[in-house]
Structure 1
């Protein structure tokens, strides 16, 4: 097994096929295919299933993604240590829960890339918010952007800030006097939401239970980013991240903070031990940006 074989395997996995990966790497497709087949022979198992419309990762292939990424990160760090890192293209592997990927993730990655245009960023999304910690622990991603506190998985935590949820109502809704909306006022109300296992749903339901409030979920969507358009379309009220709520307000939604406030800390997590140069730079950048924004 060599570095080229591992990097070719990851390229095929990330691009979903040999032709797209070959184009991205600027190598001949037969060369790429032969290298991956040689890697499969060395490992003694198929990493991809060849299907009529392309490739899908096999069970072994999915299991190999994390160790392969760790291997390349380790090699990049080793090259840096001996002064030859300029020959490698640095990469940052980041997994983020969707609501944090939108804010502050998008602005953090954008400003980081402006300062570090030579670093390639790979962003993954966990199937559930809780699944993020497993992806980081098992090495699929070097850094995770997640809500805190964490389960006890032995990960190192870098606190960055606090995210707050506001209520957004369809345009023209009369929410009554005052600034903040008491949660008690929502008793019996129709609301929009996301599936259980998502921080946004779990935190809201916990707060409502504490207040003895029951609501009726009338629309459930898989992704939090779909909530604001549904509110604007008149489907009902929803809890949105404050920054998303402000954007919805500019389009006509009626938005208010809630009483008591719904706030959750967030930060970056990674495995114990030294980080790759790209991850180390991103952690420092995120700390500085979030500290400046407070």
Structure 2
């Protein structure tokens, strides 16, 4: 196979990221037939269809999904090579970050925001794995250069930079009597209705293990995939929910009764990446994250 055409690779990724040939062509400011022909040429070069062309647009084939990681590695390698001979600064550099929703909210939003204020010419792409367990695989396989993950990790040979600790609090419907203690014992949840997040998430497994360790059995009243629905469901009287401490403070302002738990529910988080050199943008983000989170 001849060396890949970088433009074809970038066109392929544009179709993936914009969800179709038309939107990708508009974003790239190229004619749609030109983009389609380039992707077809790439498919011939690879010997596989990267997309299934269907009546309502395109969907990734299994070969296309497998090619996303290598394609991003190709573009990161080209960017690194250009940067090594370019003294013009960081203009146009991009960062690929994969994280789960609970970490994307905190500390991800504030961390990325402060990074871009310090580096206004950079571009950050934030991906979400299909399940929380897949995050480490996306980093290991090169689909994303950097992950923001709960710790500890499975043994996948990734380098880890610990940044801080997340804490879950309990939020109860307005008017709930939870006693006068500052922290609510998990045993007080026995027999109560609770609002949960999907089983594939880190938070669900973490909470269920903690409840099991205390011999507590709850009734799952609602499983809420949209995380932004959890606090409104609590305020609506559905039941109690485990939420980030930062979200609990917001919920309290809206009338929910919020408390830390006894024992505390805390877990470390940090950045993960494959061993070896990092791109310029990723090195800058790692350094910024260390300073932002006070991790040295």
Taking structure 2 as the reference length, what is the TM-score of the superposition? 0.95
- Structure 2: how far apart are the matches of 1:239 and 1:220? 12
145, 149, 152: which one pairs with 1:146?
149
1:186 partnered with 2:180: no
Q: Could you say which residue in structure 2 is the equivalent of 1:54?
A: 57
Q: How many residues align?
A: 293
What 5-or-longer segments of structure 1 have no aligned partner?
A: none
* Residues 226, 15 of structure 1: alpha-carbon distance in 2 compared, 3 angstrom cutoff: same
- 1:196 is displaced (CA, Å) by 2.1
Q: Could you say which residue in structure 1 is the equivalent of 2:211?
A: 208
- 1:178 is displaced (CA, Å) by 1.5
Taking structure 1 as the reference length, what is the TM-score of the superposition? 0.96
1:224 partnered with 2:222: no
Is contact 2:186-2:216 (8 Å) kept? Answer: yes
Is contact 1:19-1:29 (8 Å) kept? Answer: yes
1:259 partnered with 2:262: yes
Which segment is superposed worse, 150-159 or 207-216? 207-216
- 1:88 is displaced (CA, Å) by 7.4
* Residues 64, 15 of structure 1: alpha-carbon distance in 2 compared, 3 angstrom cutoff: same
- Structure 2: how far apart are the matches of 1:253 and 1:84? 54
1:282 partnered with 2:285: yes
- Structure 1: how far apart are the matches of 2:125 and 2:175? 41
1:137 partnered with 2:134: no
Is contact 1:79-1:85 (8 Å) kept? Answer: no
- 1:86 is displaced (CA, Å) by 6.2
Is contact 1:76-1:88 (8 Å) kept? Answer: no
- 1:199 is displaced (CA, Å) by 1.6
| Segments of 4+ moved more than 6 angstroms | 84-88
- 1:103 is displaced (CA, Å) by 0.8
Which segment is superposed worse, 27-36 or 156-165? 27-36
Q: Could you say which residue in structure 1 is the equivalent of 2:42?
A: 39
Pairwise mapping of residues 1-294 of structure 1 onto structure 2 (< 5 A)? 1-83=4-86, 89-291=92-294
Which segment is superposed worse, 277-286 or 77-86? 77-86
- CA root-mean-square deviation: 1.7
- 1:192 is displaced (CA, Å) by 1.0
- Structure 2: how far apart are the matches of 1:26 and 1:110? 28
- 1:87 is displaced (CA, Å) by 9.7
- Structure 1: how far apart are the matches of 2:263 and 2:91? 50
What 5-or-longer segments of structure 2 have no aligned partner?
A: none
- 1:234 is displaced (CA, Å) by 1.2
Deviation track 1:80-114 (CA, whole Å, cap 9, x = no partner) reads 11227769731111110110001111111111111
- Structure 2: how far apart are the matches of 1:68 and 1:122? 15
Is contact 1:98-1:223 (8 Å) kept? Answer: no
- Structure 2: how far apart are the matches of 1:171 and 1:227? 14
- Structure 1: how far apart are the matches of 2:275 and 2:227? 31
Is contact 1:76-1:85 (8 Å) kept? Answer: no
SS at match of 1:166: strand
- Structure 2: how far apart are the matches of 1:19 and 1:199? 36
- Structure 2: how far apart are the matches of 1:157 and 1:273? 12
